[in-house]
Structure formats: C-alpha cells, structure tokens
Structure 1
Amino acid sequence: MARPAARARLLTLTGPAGVGKSHLAHAAVTAGGDGGVEEAGGFLGLSPPPPTIWVDLADAPDASALWTRLGARDAHEAAGRIADGGLLLVLDNADRLVADIALDVAALLRSCPGLRTLLTSRVPLDIRAERILPVGPLPTGPGSPAEALFAERVRPYHRPGVDSGPGQLAVGEICRLLDGVPLAVEMAAEAVGTEGPRALLERLERGDCDPGRHRARDTPERHRSVAAALTWAAGTPAEGDAALLRALSVFDTYVDPVAVRRVTGLGHAAAVAGIDALLHKSLLLSAPGQDGEPELRLTYMARAYHRARLAADPRELRRVLDGHAAHWSAYAQDTAEALRAGRHLDQVLPAVAARLPDILRAARHLTSTGDHLAALRLTTALEVPLLRHCLAPEAAHEAEATADAWAAETAGRPAARAAGGEVAAGALVAVGRWAVDRGEYARAARVLERAETVAAELPVARARVAVATGELLRRRGESALAVGVLDPAVRRLDAEGDRRTAALARRALALLRAAHADPEAERPLLRALDDVPDDAALRASLLTALARVRRALGRDREAHETAREAARLLMGIGDPAQVAEALETVAVTSGGADGDEQRRHAVARVLAHAEAVRRRYGVVPDGDDAAGELARDLARSPTARPLRELRRDAERVSLHDALVAALFAPPPADGPARTARRGTAPHGLTPRQHQIALLVAEGLTNRQIARRLGISEWTVTNHLRVVMQKLGCASRVHVVRAVQGGTA
C-alpha cells in the first residue's frame, strides 16, 4: 500500500462490504503492528507524521458531521482552519455520503497543500486528486489468512473441533464458500457452536447466509448480520442496479456481458454499462480469467442476500432462471463445437469445472419446468467433460431420470415421440457408453434397452443405439450377437451418411474379427479412417483399435507405430478411456517383458500410467487382457520392485504426461516375426480363451481360474461364453470333451 499512497494526497480504499477497509485504514494510521503496515507518516509520504483527525461517517446523516469534526460549519470554513498546516484526515465509512462530500473534499485539497486524506468507501469520490486502492478478500486455502481469522474468532470452548481432521476441512470449505470476506468469516466463526463447523457448512450450502447469531454486544448494528451489512452499504440503490443484482444472484459462479444479456434481456451496451456500474460500486468481484478476460461474480453474502429478494417475486424468479438456463445451454453447445473443432481439453475442462454449479443448476431448472429435451441437449453437449472426464458423474443419473420423464410424458403421442426421440435416445446412448467404459454392463444394458424403445420408430436413432449395444455385447464376449447387431447398423448409417457412428461400428467389428484372427480384420478400420478425416479424437480411437488388430495378426512393429500415432493424436483431446487404451496398446506392442532392464522399465512406466488413469477415472479394460498379462509378467521379472514404485508415482500423473511417456516407449526388439493368433489356438480362440478352455478341462471352477490368472471371475465367465460359442458347446462338460478330444 505504501507505494501508491506515498504519491497520493487522497487515497481511497474501496472494496465490497465486509472486506476490511476500515481495519486496513486503522492498521495504516496506528503504529502498524497489525499486518506490518508503516506508520501514518511513512504510509502517506510525510515525515514526521502529521496530526490525524479520524471521522467515522457510518451513522452521519449528511456532510455536516465532517465539518463539525473539523470545528467548522462548512467546507470553506474548514479550509480556513486547516490552511497550510499538515493534517491527515481519515474519512471512514463514507459510502453513503460520497456524492455529498466529493466536491468539498476536492476543494479542501486544492486550498490546503498540507492536507492528506485517507477515505474508505465502496464507491470512490471520482475526483482528479484521488488514487484508488482496491481491497480484496483474504486468500483461502490450507494455512491461509482466512482460516487463521476463522480460528482466531471461534469461541475458545469450541476451538478443539476446528483445528484438525474433518472440522479443519470444513473450516477451509467455509472460508472458500464465503470468498474469504473477513466480515462473513468472522460471523461464521462466531456461529460455530456445539454442532461444529460441518453443520455450519451444511447451513451455508443450503443458502442460510446469516450465520451471525452470536455477535459481540458492542458490534456495530450494521455488522450484526449479513443483511444489515449489505443494506447499510447499499443504501437505497437505483432500481436498475437492484434489478441487475437480483438477476445476477442466480449465478453461482462467473458472469459476463453475454450472461447479463440473457438473464435481463438488455442489449450489449446496456449490459456492459450495468456491469461497469456494479464494479464501480464494489458490488462485483473481478479476477483475471483463464482466457485473459475478467471473471466477475457476486460474493456469497451478496448473492444470498439478493437471491432472497428475487425469490419474493415468483414471476421475476422464473424469468431470470429461464434466462440463466438459456445462457448455459448456449454455453454447452459452444463448448461441444469447440471440442469438435479440436480445442484442447486443458482449456475446456478447467472452464467447465469452474462453472459446474451453474451448469447443473440450469439442467435441473429445465427438467423442473418440463423442458426435458433442452435439459438432455445440455447434458449431451457436455458429455465429454461431465461424464467421460468425471466432472459430474451424477449427470448420468439425472439424464436417465429426465429421459424417463420425457418418455412418460410423451407416451401415446407419436408426433411428440418423433420430434424428440432422437434427442432422448442420444442422451441415453451417451449414458450407456459411459456405463460400458466403467464396466457397469448391467446398467448399460438397461439404459440402452430404454434407448431402443425411445428410438423404435426412428431408423437412424435406432442404428446409433445398435452401435452402442454392439459394443456392449463385444465387451461382454457375446461376439455372434454383437456382429448380428452391428452389421445392419453399419448399412443403415452408411445409407444415411452418419459416418461418425458408422466408424464406431466398424471399430467394434474389426476388433471382433481380430479376436478370430481374421486376416481381413483391419479393412473396416481403414474404411473408417477414410470416412472421418477431421475428427482427431475418433481417429485416435480407430488407430488404437488398428494397432490392436495388427498385433493380433502378428505385425508388432507396425502395431507399435500405429499405437504411438494414436497417443500423439490424443494429446490434449483424449478422454480417460481412450488414453488408457492407447497407453496399454503402446505398452503391449513394445515387446512386453522381454529385453533389457531399460526397456522393461520404460514399458512398466507406460503401463503404470495406464493403470493409474483407469483407477482415477473408474474405466475398465474392454476384455482384451493383454495389458493384464504384461503386468503379471513384469511383476515376475526383475522389474517387479520398480513397477511398484512406478505405480505409486503414477497416481497423480496427468493424461498429457502419460501420453508423453508413451511416445518415448521403445519399439519391439528385432527378432523373428511373431505369427498371427490363428496359429496359436484352434477354432479362432484367442490365447486367453484357449488358456481358459484348458483350465476348464483340468476341472477348475471359474473362481479358481480367475485366481490363477489374476483376472476377475466376470472376465472368466465372458471368455468362457465365447469359447462355448466358438466351439459349439452347450455346457462346460462339452468344452472338456472338446479339449480332451483334441478339437481345442
């Protein structure tokens, strides 16, 4: 503070209500012990320090209180009394009198060269001599000044519950929720009682914005509650300001001119002018955003206060919430377009995460008002960040419920079903794909069955559902059923020109063919790659599948290069399931556990990253256990101990860094070419399926096989189902006979 103040004759401390402007002024004027602020003389550039007159204008009805304190009747007489003498004049809590005293203070400064003035107010005087110093909230976070203030103000007999464990975590969340505004933090701390900070946090999250029920007896009336503080600070705001504050109170996160226009109906110029007015009066907080543009928001105290006033008018509340939902629906569509255009996720995900409360609130409002399709469009547009990157997995449950509500509402109304069926089916397919990636196959089957019902009279939508169903069947090991579902879906999608979904179907078909060692297995993938030249994320997924197919056909070096190309494409755009699959494919095509220690270490690093990504995001392998076999081989090799250390170190690795490690994975060692899987097991069984068939012939149960191979019992069941289909066996007994008879 000393640097701008040293050159100033008038320094104005501005900031939102309760931010501590008066406290900072006291710290500057008094000996400066609190906060290490310089003495008044040094602070204002004067030595020795001048006499100081402190005028608290909080309860002053008009400007006469200022002149009385200076022993004068008006500004002219006050100027005569001060004359050329040095004086520090502190005008505290001048919020309500700014308009009355601004020109008189300007005249005093012109007439009295030795006068220095320190003023605290939400609103500056707006005169030429003024230098403005914004006062912001306290920093929050572990060990922050906000938490220290909270701990200091908690009553001594309640302190043990806030200085460690869950209580301390709740305190940190309270300080963050209250934006680090000192007045709000003090009130919250004083409100902690026998219920503890967690109960207080729950109250605040419900919107109980007035925790200040146990304030000290000598607390000024304007600081006894949030409502009192805001009412005093705002006075009687202009109706335009009041209406804008009520509208902005529905936003839990940030606002911008576009948001203001959508919730108020104002034009661009009026919206910008309204925001500028609120900023000028310290009624909005401003911080630099990720894209360099300012991010504006109300404090928690102001938001809750104005939201309560908005709720008093149900018609206005509905209009504002409709505008809020329209804004976030448009934001969702813009974000989806940006992702399709290749915008990096490291730009999109933080922005969506920061705005998540508003996005979810908008979707719930649309659902509550019966606009189910708009809610589903919003959720589906943000499928990648909300579901695939797990920013809001609860959105899957809400999308299901919303689609069910729409289906119930449109039952018996064919025209309504035809108009909205594609949207509802698309949302259910998104949830179904998410459930498949998480290994929730039973849930995925239920969701996709509902999607099929919704899309019954819509051929294209039905084909899209079939592609998701075919992928589910493939993952469950039901190969014949999967092919039967996918083949007609591809034909329909080709006919309708839906190349993207057709490419997903061809991907599944190619992996099914590779499982049977079909030498033509890569043809569907090559066709799919030709069909989607501009969709980088989908092309990466197709390339990963192509690498797996080429590995199955014994072309390891070619497979490795393809997998590395997939990893390169996924940089910045891949979702966790895609990244994990690409990492595993790079690892298994690098030569496995063979080779020297350096090679094994590099492969183990990539594999550890893949495992970490799967654990963190809850995504499961898709049935190909090659990565699991590699991990077990590495665990039996001299790399076992380093592998454990790599797994520990990989827990927090970013998707980007994991993919970088994959790019540096070694290629397969030179050696004799590996033969395709066709030669390793009869009847098109994969090596894993053949291994399970042999263990069944030994008399092992599914559970015993799972334990021996280090895989889940569910995976064994799926593999065995495929074995029985391929061998034409009706039971385990027939599998044993086939194996012992030499047909397997």
Structure 2
Amino acid sequence: MAFGVIQRRTGELPAEVTGFVGRTAELRQLVELLGQTRLVTVVGPGGVGKTRIALRAAARLAGHYTDGVCLVELTGLRDPELLAHTLATCLGLPERQSRDRLDVLLDHLRDRRIMLILDTCEHLVDACAMLTDVLLREARGVTVLATSRQPLDVPGEATLQIHPLPVDEGPAAGHAPGGDAVELFAQRAAAVVPGFAVTDRNRADVLSLCRRLDGIPLAIELAAVRLRTVPLRQLVDRLEDRFRLLTGGRRTALPRHQTLRTAIDWSYGLCEAPERLLWARLSIFAGTFDTGAVEEVCADSELPRTEIQETLIRLVDKSVVLRVDDGEGGTRYRLLDTLREYGAERGELGAERLRYVERYAGLARHFGGRFLDDDQLDRVQALHREHADIRAALEYAFALPGGDALAARLAGDLWGYWLLSGHLTEGRYWQTRVLQRFPQAGPERVRALCVRGALTMFQRDFGQAYADLNASADLGGGDTFAARACGFLQLLLAVQGCYADSAAAGAEAERRLCALGDHIGLSFLHMTRSFLSVVTGDADGALEHCARSWRRLGPHTREHWLSGYLFWVTGMAHLQRGAYDEAADALHQALRLKRAVGDPLGAAYVLESLSWLASELGRHERATVLLGAASAQWRRLGSTTRVGPALIERHQAVETAASVALGAERFTALLQSGAGSPLEAVVDFALGETEDAQDAQEGEDAEELEAAGPGAPGGADGLTRREREVAALVAQGLSNRQIADRLVLSKRTVDAHLEHILTKVGASSRTEIATRLAAGGR
C-alpha cells in the first residue's frame, strides 16, 4: 500500500485495453496547444472519446514534466466541496495537516512542474473553473488538461473541440479506406466475431452504419457488439428503421447528441426486460462494483438474486457494462458516464437507493465494530475500492426523508476507515455535516464530536481536537464514543507534554471503557498509556501497557495499525533500557507494519527511533540519513517530534553526535540525502531491503554490478566509479560495514563490489588492494 493513500502512483496513466484509432490531427493539435498554454480543455459531446485523446497526449508529453502527470477522475465525485481534497489525494498528499486543502495543494504545487488531468468536469464545471484559475495563478509550473462537455471559461484557456470520427475519407487523406469510423467498427467487430473484416462485399453496409451513427465512437462500439447475434445486413436495417421513425422518413441528419441518444435507445430496446431493469438500477453506483454489491442493491421480486449474475454477464457481452480488473485478481464492473446517465432516466430508484445506503452502512458498521480484527488491512483496502460509492451513499442518506440518523451512523462507523486510509479531511467534513444536522445533545452528536476530534488530533490541530473530544466526553455519559473520547484525550495531552492531565484522562477512560467492556477502546488505551510511559522515561511501564494491549489483540494477531504503534513503543522502551537487539527487532517489525498499512506519520516516528538506535551503535552515517528522512516527512505532514522533553533531548543529542563524528559538511550532505529520498525508498533502506536510500543511486549501483560483473584481472583502470570509491576506503582500513555506512549502501552491496575489485586488480586479500591501486595509478 502507498503511504497515506491507496491509489495509482503520480505519473502512471491507465493502460489502454482496446486499440486507439485515428485522431492524428487532434493529437498533434492538442500537443501543440499544451506547448503554448497552461490550460487546455478538450471539449465534445458524450461518447466522442475526449478522455482517450487527453490520456494519449499526456502520455506523449509526460517526459516534459519533471514532477509527473496526475490523473484526477471526477466521474464519481458529486460534491464540489471535496474537489480540492480529491486532487490532493490523487497527488498522494497525506492528510495530517488541518490546514485548508487548497492551501496545502498550492504549497505542494508552487515549485513543481506537473500536468494535472481533470477528467469529466461538466457536472462540477464551476468548482473546476475556480480551482483551475487559482492553480494557474499561484503555481506557475502547473499545466491543466481538462475534459468536459463545455469549456471551463477560465482566463487563458484554450479549447480543442473533438468531433466524431470521419467517414468516407480516403487513404490519400491519411485515413484507412472508408475513414477512421470504419476502421474503429472493423476492429471492434473483429473482437466479437473472430475473422470479421471490411471487404468489398460488406463495405457499403459498414459505411452506411457508420454514417448513420455520425462517426460517434461510443455509438459505433455499441453497434459492433450486436454482431454477436445479428448479421451485419439486419443490423443496418434495424438501425435505419430506428432513425426513420425519428426523422419522419426524411434523410435529415439528427443533431449529434440526438444521434448518440438514439443509438443508446436502440441498444436499450434490444435488451431483454431483465437487462433493461438491471441497467437502470446499476446507474445508482458511482464507482466500480462487484457481483455481490449488485445482488444486494438491485435484486428484488421483479429481478431475483438468482438471475443477477447471468443478466450482468449479458450486459457485459453487449458492452453496456465494462469489466475491470480490481488489481487483486478479482473482477469488478462499471458503467460509462453516458450509459449511467441514460440508465438513471429509466426508472424510479427509491427502493434501490435505500438498499444502496443500507449496504454501505452495513459495511461501515462491520468495519467499525471489528476494527482490530485480523483482516483489517484487507477490509480497509476493500472499502477504498468502494470510496466513490461511500461518498454517494452519504449524500443519498442525507437526502432521504428521515435519513439523517442513518447518515450519522454511516459517517461515524467509518472512523477507522478515515484514519487508516488517510482520508482525514473528508472524514472531518462528513462529521461536520452530521453536527450541523444534530445541534442538540444526543448519541449522533457525541459520536461525531469524538470522531472529528480524533481525526483533527492526527492532523495536529490540537485546539480544535481538544474542544471536540472534551465536548464528546462531557455530553456522552455512558456512551461508547464518549468513553473513547477520554482515551483520545489521554493521547492528545501526552503529545502536548501535559503528562499529569494525560494520566488523569487515561484513568477516566479506563474506568468508562471497562464498564462498557469496549475491547477496541481498551486496546487503543493501553497503547496510548504505553506511549505516555515511554515519553516520561518509564520503560518498564511502557512494556507492561504494551503487554496488556497485546493480550487483548491475541498472540497471533494480524492487525496492522495499532500493532505497528505497539512495536514502536516496545522498541523505544528497549532502546531506553540498552537492549539494542530487541529494540532493532521491534522497530523493524513496526516499520514493516506501518509500510503495509500506509501510515506515513507512524513510519516517520519509527525512522526517527531507528536513527537513535544507529547512533547508539556508532553508525552515524546511517543515523543521519534516517534522521533526515524522518524530519522531511514531518515537515511534509505538518507534524513535529516535540512529544516530550526527553525525546526532544534525544533528537538533539543524535544530531550533535553525528555532526561531531562526521564533520559539518558530511553531516549536512547525508541529512539532505535522507530528506531528498522517497519515503518508500528510505523504509526499504532502513529494513535492509535495498542497497541505497536514494532510488537513483540504488539503480546506479545495481546497473554497475550487473554490467561490470566480476571481470578478469586487469588492474585498477578497469574499476567502475563505485568500485574505486570502495577500494579507496578499503585501502584506508575501513571494514565492509563501515564502508556501507559511509557510502549509505547495504553491506551485501559492498561485499559484491569488493569481490569484483579483488578479481579485477588481481588481489587475493583486502590488504593487497592498496598496493595494487598504487601500482596501477589511481
């Protein structure tokens, strides 16, 4: 899992799953426009292929943007208030800051050269326009490529109108015989009828069909799939009949939007009654869905659950529903926007909407109630795949008559999801909406205050967090979330250095949670009390509280998030006691869990602790790299190491010791090396899973080792740059471990380099290397 978010990496664009036809002139124009202006909107009707063209152009230009290309898919977003948040999430910005997300975005983008692709803007056109206007004015290295059915109307915007594919263009004009529309039909037809080709015998029918569909790609693809069951000639005749009804028999062309509508009407009419019913009901899904979700939401007496699977498969066969890989070996489905809009017009979805909300409320209730179960990571990843529909379910719940309580329960039960997935800002947003609906004391308000306070604490807005948590604890009495609010207060006060107040809050939390028998709350409380012990120097007390939490989780737990913090505190306690092997084991396990669950703040704390351990062992180069990485991560998260005087002093002591041992210049260089490395690379380095903390250097060393090989004796002239560095340090008498620390490599990489050096200079031992180098001339 990526740190903080579960998503496609910035710079990665989705792979094309079908052939790309034509659009040579449009692509050239789009590339030229992007070279001339920083905002280009690809405009055209639904189904014309705007997204495909934009992604093709972005792929061609990706190398021009040093900070990559970021695709922001807006189809599933319905609330314009979450637009900046959605963009920040796609950029991989963690949500540990409570600042306005637009400010965070601008700070991140201001000095970057990056392309942002805002795909499908028409339903959020005002919000997209305002955001784009601000981005272009404040971040001069940002280019925005938008797709929309209408322009954004932002100063400096260039638009590229995308028209349907040409029909009847000849080869001399740079098109396939019959035009790109015919070529598209031929490719899609061959995919459903193996061996299909456009020949002299059927060319007139294909031309007629493509011309009647006005060259609109989506309409052509819907028609081509019908060849599975209908011969081409009959297909053309049926389509002509449909259009003749609309034009009154005149050979008048319909407006293009009506052409597409007619093609979809025609496809809809050819569906059987269960297929039409399911098509309409599937339109309720905002994102992708699996068969289980369809059965739960769409099945009733009119469309029995036993018929769902087969009916869904038939819609896939007719290209109404698209099959997508979920990345985990499973299958999910989605509707194209145009077909979803059409389906939504085809039925009243009152009962389906209620089942839809209840489905996601059930998933949230299960997750919230079993937050610490072994399948925690699997379930948070599964919820992330449903994120667009979680949003839609919350919107529907707030809109349902009498649905406020259901919305409050859904938003509150997702407290652990907001936390683990990194969607802290969005989680706070939904709790605020709940609080607006429930201004008076009651369980909904108590829960929303507790959840918002906890999320706010992790964003380090301590004043707001304290106000929310204190209010929840005071209002709730015997409510579970009021008791948990006391536990969160204990952690908040410990982080702020208010140790006596923290202990008092912890005691109150334990009293309430024990009375309720709240397993989740008590497990979390023991971890936070162990943290209080370790920051006050009570290593034995920290280990005892950790043991109490472990006993609750079970000896073979596969829970990740809380366990990661328990291992971290355990490692810190062992470090305080001077048990360095035990500290290393615990901290490495903590880092593995934080990497798996995607917790950048937790990873930063562990990296800091590992730097202290390295300092205790005299490995100052390694300590400095890890310290730089941790400090950079905290700056990025808007966080701090100031969680108690003892830990502040330890941090400063490590910095001082490293600076003295290495010298100011070397210390600064290594600190910057750690700060400039990606978090994932530093974590791999800290765990000994890569050769270098910097990806570029790691790749360089790996390439050198592979390309150079052990070689044959030939003197020092045959050594690579890295081998010369290693050889020079060997000649100075450094051990392989010391060389690894000095060059910020793993020991096994140094071992491999040394083996190559011995072979190349014809030495039989390390002591001969200095002599051979001197003889060969350095």
Q: TM-score under structure 1 normalisation?
A: 0.56
Looking at structure 1, the residues matched to 653 and 342 of structure 2 have their Cα atoms a distance apart, in angstroms, of 59
Q: Is the 8 A contact 1:399 1:427 kept in 2?
A: yes
5 Å-filtered alignment, 1:529-544, equals: 529-533=550-554, 534=557, 535=559, 537-544=561-568
1:601 is matched with 621
CA shift at 1:172, angstroms? 12
Displacement, 1:240?
2.8
Give the C-alpha shift of residue 444 in structure 1.
0.8
TM superposition shift of 1:569: 4.8
Name the SS of the counterpart of 2:614 in structure 1.
Answer: coil
Contact 1:547 1:558 in 2 (8 A): yes
Superposed CA offset, 1:603-624 (max 9, x none): 3444444345545555544614
Once the two structures are TM-superposed, the CA of residue 275 in structure 1 deviates from its matched residue by 0.3
| Alignment coverage as a number of residue pairs | 492
SS of match in other structure, 1:295: strand
Partner of 1:249: 283
Q: Which has the larger radius of gyration?
A: 1
670, 673, 676: which one pairs with 1:642? Answer: 670
**Residue 331 and residue 403 in structure 1: after superposition, are their counterparts in 2 closer, same or farther (change >3 A)?**
same
> Is 1:429 paired with 2:456?
no
Q: 1:487 aligns with which of 507, 510, 515?
A: 507
Q: Equivalences for 1:576-655 in 2 at 5 Å?
A: 576-591=600-615, 595=618, 599-611=619-631, 613-614=633-634, 619-621=639-641, 623=643, 624-625=647-648, 626-627=650-651, 630-631=654-655, 634=658, 637=662, 638-651=666-679, 653=681
Report SS of the residue matched to 2:391.
helix
Deviation at 1:254, TM superposition (A): 1.5
Q: 1:241 to 1:402 in 2, by over 3 A?
A: same
Distance 1:464 1:348, change over 3 A: closer
Question: Which letter does structure 1 place at the counterpart of 2:394?
Answer: A
Aligned to 1:475: 495
- Does residue 285 of the first structure (1) align with residue 322 of the second (2)? yes
Q: 1:287 to 1:200 in 2, by over 3 A?
A: closer
Q: Is contact 1:560–1:590 with CA below 8 Å preserved after alignment?
A: no
Shift of 1:271: 0.9
In the alignment, the residues of structure 1 paired with residue 22 and residue 655 of structure 2 have an alpha-carbon distance, to the nearest angstrom, of 50
Shift of 1:653: 4.0
Change in 2 beyond 3 A, CA 1:174/1:639: farther
State which of 357, 361, 367 in structure 1 corresponds to 2:388.
Answer: 357
Which letter maps to 2:495? R
**Alpha-carbon spacing, 1:578–1:175, altered in 2? closer, same or farther (3 Å):** farther
Quickly say closer, same or farther: Cα 1:361–1:619, change in 2 above 3 A.
farther
Give the corresponding residue for 1:297: 334
Q: Distance in 2 between matches of 1:292 and 1:183?
A: 28
Q: 1:530–1:145: structure 2 CA closer, same or farther, 3 Å change rule?
A: closer
Asked whether 1:399 is paired with 2:399, we answer no
Structure 1: gaps (5+ residues): 1-138, 187-196, 412-416, 666-744
Asked if the contact 1:376–1:427 (Cα under 8 Å) also holds between the matched residues in 2, the reply is yes
Between the aligned partners of 1:474 and 1:379, the Cα distance in structure 2 is 28
In the alignment, which of 517, 540, 545 is matched to residue 497 of structure 1? 517
1:153 aligns with 2:15: no
* SS in structure 1 of the partner of residue 438 of structure 2: helix
Taking a change above 3 Å as real, the CA distance of residues 295 and 632 of structure 1, as seen in their structure-2 partners, is farther
The aligned residue for residue 452 of structure 1 is 473
- Read off the aligned partner of 1:153 and give its amino acid letter: E
Is the 2:287–2:388 Cα contact (8 Å) retained in structure 1? yes
Q: C-alpha distance in 2, partners of 1:173/1:572?
A: 42
SS for the counterpart of 1:630 is helix
Provide the C-alpha distance between the structure 2 equivalents of 1:565 and 1:184, rounded to a whole number of angstroms.
Answer: 40
Q: Structure 1 residues 474-483 or 204-213, which shifts more?
A: 204-213
User: For 1:394, what is the secondary structure of its paired residue?
Assistant: helix
- The aligned amino acid for 2:327 is Q
Q: 2:39 matched to which residue of 1?
A: 167
Name the CA shift for 1:181/1:299 in 2 (closer, same or farther; >3 Å): farther
Are residues 1:546 and 2:578 paired? Answer: no
Does the 8 A contact of 1:473 with 1:481 survive in 2? yes
SS of residue matched to 1:291: coil
Change in 2 beyond 3 A, CA 1:151/1:629: farther
Task: Give the Cα separation in 1 of the matches to 2:593 and 2:406.
Answer: 32
On the 8 A contact 2:44/2:161 being kept in 1, the answer is no
Q: Tell me the alpha carbon deviations over residues 482-525 of structure 1, each in whole angstroms, 9 at most, x when there is no partner.
A: 22221132233234433442343344334434444447533333
* 2:463 aligned partner: 442
User: Which residue of the partner structure matches residue 10 of structure 1?
Assistant: none
Q: After TM superposition, give the deviation of residue 272 of structure 1 in Å.
A: 0.9
Does the Cα contact within 8 Å between 1:150 and 1:185 map onto a contact in 2? no
Distance 2:19 2:628 in 1: 39
SS in structure 2 opposite 1:340?
coil
Per-residue CA deviation, residues 176-198 of structure 1 (Å, 9 max, x unaligned), is 99695689999xxxxxxxxxx99
Equivalent runs, 1:671-690 vs 2, <5 Å = none
Separation in 2, partners of 1:662, 1:424:
47
Aligned equivalents of 1:286, 1:362: Cα separation in 2:
23
Cα distance between partner residues in 2 of 1:199 and 1:339: 34
Quote how far apart the aligned CAs of 1:559 are: 3.8
SS in 1 for 2:264: helix
Bigger relative contact order, structure 1 or 2 (CA pairs below 8 A, ≥6 apart): 2
Residues 270/394 of structure 1: CA separation in 2 closer, same or farther (3 Å cut): same
What corresponds to 2:687 in structure 1?
660
The separation in 1 between residues aligned to 2:353 and 2:35, in whole angstroms, is 39
- Structure 1's 234 and 392: CA in aligned 2 closer, same or farther, altered over 3 A? farther
Are 1:203 and 2:76 an aligned pair? no
Q: Secondary structure at the match of 1:243?
A: helix
Alignment partner of 2:399 out of 368, 373, 377: 368
Q: Is the Cα contact below 8 Å between 1:537 and 1:569 reproduced in 2?
A: yes
Distance 1:360 1:320, change over 3 A: same
Distance of 1:264 and 1:575 partners within structure 2: 36
Separation in structure 1 between the aligned mates of residue 368 and residue 686 of structure 2, nearest angstrom: 23
Q: Which amino acid aligns with 2:374?
A: G
2:487 and 2:521 in contact (8 A); partners too: yes
Query: Deviation at 1:323?
Result: 2.4
CA positional deviation for 1:259: 2.0
Asked if the contact 1:600–1:634 (Cα under 8 Å) also holds between the matched residues in 2, the reply is yes
Partner AA of 1:286 in structure 2: R
- Deviations along 1:381-418, one digit per CA (max 9) or x if unpaired, are 4444534432463222212321442344xx5xxxxx3x
Distance change >3 Å, CA 628–CA 141, structure 1 → 2: farther
C-alpha distance 380-261 of structure 1, shift in aligned 2 (>3 A): same
How far the C-alpha of 1:206 sits from its partner, in A, is 6.0
Aligned partner of 2:545 in structure 1 is 524
> CA deviation digits over 1:677-735, x for unaligned, max 9?
xxxxxxxxxxxxxxxxxxxxxxxxxxxxxxxxxxxxxxxxxxxxxxxxxxxxxxxxxxx
Q: Deviations over 1:62-87 (max 9, x none)?
A: xxxxxxxxxxxxxxxxxxxxxxxxxx
What is the letter of the counterpart of residue 368 of structure 1? A
Letter in 2 for 1:285: L
Quote the offset at 1:295 in angstroms.
1.7
Q: CA RMSD in A?
A: 4.6
Aligned to 2:373: 341
- Cα gap change, 1:338 to 1:664, in 2 (>3 Å): farther
CA distance in 2, matches of 1:651, 1:526: 30
Alignment correspondent of 1:240 = 274
